[in-house]
A = this chain, B = another copy of it.
Amino acid sequence: MKIGELAKKLNCTVETIRYYEKIGLIPPSVRDQNNNYRHYNQNHIERLSFVRHCRALAMSHEEILELLTAREQDGASCEKIDLVIDNHLKHVSDRISELQQLEKQLHTLRKQCKTPGANQECGIIQELDSPIDSNIQGLKNSNHVSGSH
């Protein structure tokens, strides 16, 4: 299978696949000796599918590598696998909590504009001009699940 076909099958771009190969998230593809085109066998397809499945669940590359490593430990129990998922689930729910806090604060801010009028009197601007309320903490960027943009 050529790269374009694989990309369609897995609903990603060819650039993404080449990028994964470059950083070693998937093994190197086999090249056509005539034209240097990449070719993929069932093994490649399954591995990439696994990776895309994990990415669709917003796991980081690091987490994915942990899963792939743990999976290949023959005979070991699946504790590590379960732990990766548990931790990642916490990443997601932590971020949800943060964003919900943010949502509240933005609602409050929005209500400061009682009746739209001149810029300078807008309650939103007045609020933003004032020092930051200690309730607002912003997003922690230690969490790999990203914010809202």
Contact = CB atoms under 8 A, between A and B. Distances in A.
A139 B149 contact: no
A81 B146 contact: no
Contacts of A23: none
Given A57-B136, A81-B124, A132-B53, A147 B110 contact: no
Contact of A99 (B73, B99, B117): B99
Nearest to A125: B71
A113 B78 contact: yes
A81 B147 contact: no
A27 B110 CA distance: 27
A122 interface: yes
A148 B94 contact: yes
27 contacts: A55-B138, A56-B132, A57-B105, A67-B128, A71-B120, A72-B119, A73-B119, A74-B120, A76-B119, A77-B116, A78-B116, A78-B121, A78-B124, A81-B122, A81-B124, A82-B110, A82-B124, A85-B106, A86-B110, A88-B106, A89-B110, A92-B99, A92-B148, A95-B99, A96-B99, A99-B145, A144-B149
Interface of A: 10-11, 46, 49-50, 52-58, 60, 67, 70-79, 81-82, 85-86, 88-89, 91-96, 99-100, 102-103, 105-107, 109-110, 113, 116-122, 124-125, 128-132, 136-139, 143-149
Given A78-B125, A94-B148, 8 more contacts: A58-B149, A76-B118, A86-B110, A95-B99, A96-B103, A144-B148, A145-B146, A145-B148
